[in-house]
Amino acid sequence: MKTAEQIALDVRSGASTAQRELDASLAAIHARNDELNVFLYVDEDGARAAAKDVDDKVARGESVGPLAGVPVAIKDNMCQVGVPTTCSSRILEGWRPPYSATVITRLLAAGAVPVGKTNLDEFAMGSSTENSAFGPTRNPLDPSRVPGGSSGGSAAAVAADMTPIALGSDTGGSIRQPAALCGLIGVKPSYGLVSRYGLIAFASSLDQIGPFSKTVTDAAILLEAIAGHDPMDSTSLPEPAPMLSAHVNDGVVGKRIALVRELIDGADPDVVASVTRAVEVLKDAGATILELSIPELQLGLSAYYLIAPAEASSNLARYDGVRFGLRVDGEDVEAMNTATRTAGFGAEVKRRIMLGTYALSAGYFDAYYGQALKVRTQMIDAFKRAYAQADLLIGATAPSVAFPFGSKTSNPMAMYLSDVFTIPTNLAGEAAISVPFGAGEAGLPTGVQLLGPGRSEAQLFAAARVLEREERGS
């Protein structure tokens, strides 16, 4: 499939049209969606209208944006006016949002064509997309394995060449881990870089929207289009979107990049081998390599699995059968609330709501939630010390390649460990990128993770591009 960059060039120059590019995307979706369960909803009419709008503008000689005519897949936890939005949950089945997320508005302004909503673990809680109420998504590279999660549908859409780019959200690794398992670029931007307005909240202090793509440049173009201050999100960074695509070829000469022991400890040997080789490539490209140990990172998993469920238990209190979504009748309001939530939420969502409710409840607050918030401070301080010595950090994205269906579903802790290398970045509000680099078991792709401080996206893309050039030869 053509890159987003190429499609936009062709549409702007008249070599192609947005409608032709959309037809190719829809054909690819129709060919494999039944098999892979990638899209929960394909917005064919809306996409055709958006594509025609782009083509009309080109015909009139008006300027069209940097994503002119580019089909984009949207994780189904982002609101798009009039388009069914479910979070892969029965509790929102059939709901159509009355407004659009800022990212959707910005995509349309950039000329992109949102084609539909992709599957996810219910309310983005999971690492395999097996927690969807509408069935799991299959990994296009090996349909007997998971695509990762929670943004598994968006990752699969790009991996199966249904769209060149997609949006996901990353609360503890939900973009980077599926990117690694599907052989894609996946970016978790700095907290606040992309507006969360219209992103259905899971854990508000950790959630961040970001891109999936096959090339570093496409990820940079997509992130540029959606980033920048938004008055509708009070946690949004004050400045406009940074220049990113102009810097992808900046290289790494003179950059200090630290291999972090805790970001490879426990990973499969083939994953570690890919990270080791990536370090060599960056060194050959002119980076100064050092090795660091950041023991605080080992506490990330424990802190995350109290903080994220605590925030989720609060955020998901809104699903009460009163204002939108499912209602199951009961004789009084409390019985109705309980019947609705019991029928509407799946097992993992209930598990996290209860964990969070427990961590926040009287008598346990200080011991669990309070302690986790202090560990979060320590993690932020530890990263600060690391970034005094290094410009970027490097490690694995996920401990293994894509795993078979059902292999972790009976043991929540085993599933949670899939995110052990990605969680620290969310807790610190910083930026990271997963780059497909090397292969492991059964020839499946391995992901190398580059981490940077807040607002380091341009440097991360430049380092990722060095690895990409080595892998792809261009």
Partner 1 sequence: MTSPLHRDDVAHVAKLARLSLSEEELALYTDQLGQILEHANDMSTLQLDDVIPTAHPFGLINVVRDDSVRESLDRDVVLAMAPDAEDGRFAVPRIMGEAP
Q: Catalytic residue positions? A: 75, 150, 174
Nearer to partner 1, 12 or 188 (CB): 188
Radius of gyration of the chain (CA): 21
Answer yes or no whether residue 321 interacts with partner 1 by CB under 8 A.
yes
Which of 34/329 has CB closer to partner 1? 329
Taking CB under 8 A as the rule, does residue 337 contact partner 1?
yes
Alpha carbon distance 74, 103 (integer Å)? 10
Spatial CB neighbours of 432, under 8 Å, sequence gap ≥ 6: 176, 187, 188, 422, 425, 449, 450, 451, 452, 460
Q: Does 388 bind partner 1 (CB under 8 A)?
A: no
Q: Which is nearer to partner 1, 420 or 467 (CB)?
A: 420
- For 339, which DSSP code? H
**Joined tokens for residue 161:** 């060449």
List 345, 387, 421, 437, residue binding partner 1 (CB under 8 A)? 345
Q: For partner 1, which is the closer residue by CB, 118 or 337?
A: 337
Name which position in 20, 93, 201, 235 contacts partner 1 (CB under 8 A).
235
DSSP alpha helix (H) spans, 60-116: 102-109
C-alpha–C-alpha distance, residues 240 and 227, integer Å: 7
Is residue 302 at the binding interface for partner 1, with CB under 8 A as the rule? yes
Largest CA distance in the chain: 70
429 binds partner 1 (CB under 8 A): yes
From its phi and psi, is residue 116 left (phi > 0), alpha (psi between -120 and 50) or beta? left
Q: Which residue number, 74 or 372, has a Cβ lying nearer to partner 1?
A: 372
Question: Do 451 and 425 contact (CB within 8 A), yes or no?
Answer: yes
Q: Does residue 83 bind partner 1 (CB under 8 A)?
A: no
Position 113 contacts partner 1 (CB under 8 A): no
Among 7, 216, 303, 451, contact with partner 1 (rule: CB under 8 A): 303
Name the residue with tokens 């946690």.
235
**Of residues 54, 107, 252, 326, which one binds partner 1 by CB under 8 A?**
326
Q: Is residue 240 a contact point for partner 1 (CB under 8 A)? A: no
Q: Please, which residue, 117 or 341, has the CB nearer to partner 1?
A: 341
Residue pair 220/245 in contact (Cβ under 8 Å)? The answer is yes
Q: What is the C-alpha to C-alpha distance for residues 146 and 182, in angstroms, rounded to an integer?
A: 9
Q: Does 333 bind partner 1 (CB under 8 A)?
A: yes
Name which of 221, 267, 273 is nearest 245 in CA terms: 221
**Min. distance of Cβ 75 from partner 1 in angstroms?**
21
Residue given tokens 């903080």 in the structure block: 307
Total site size for partner 1, rule CB under 8 A: 68
Strand partners of residue 367: none
Q: Answer whether 393's CB lies under 8 Å from 450's CB.
A: yes
Rounded Cα distance, 467 and 284, in Å? 11
Site string for partner 1, 406-425 (x = CB under 8 A): ------xx--x---------
Phi-psi region of 464 (alpha: psi -120 to 50; beta: other; left: phi over 0): alpha
Alpha-carbon distance 172 to 428, whole Å? 11
**Candidate residues 256, 324, 405, 469; the one interacting with partner 1 per rule CB under 8 A:** 324
313 contacts partner 1 (rule: CB under 8 A): yes
Residue linked to tokens 């032709």: 20
Among 34, 61, 332, 473, binds partner 1 (CB under 8 A): 332
Tell me which of 13, 144, 377, 389 binds partner 1, using CB under 8 A: 377
Among 370, 439, 469, 471, binds partner 1 (CB under 8 A): 370
Residue 367 makes contact with partner 1 by CB under 8 A: yes
The pair of three-digit structure tokens given for residue 318, joined into one six-digit string: 């809104």
Binding segment for partner 1 among 35-43, 70-78, 121-129, 293-301 (CB under 8 A)? 293-301
d(CA 40, CA 412) in angstroms, rounded, equals 25
Position 231 contacts partner 1 (CB under 8 A): yes
Contact at 8 Å (CB) between 397 and 449? yes
Sketch the per residue contact string, 148 through 187, with partner 1: x for CB under 8 A, - otherwise: ----------------------------------------
> Which of 30, 283, 318, 374 is the binder for partner 1 (CB under 8 A)?
374
Q: How far is CA 310 from the centre of its chain?
A: 21
**Could you list the residues that contact partner 1 (CB under 8 A)?**
95-96, 98-99, 191-192, 205, 231, 234-235, 298-299, 301-303, 305-306, 313, 320-327, 329-339, 341-342, 345, 350-351, 353-355, 357-358, 361, 367-368, 370-378, 380, 412-413, 416, 427-430, 454
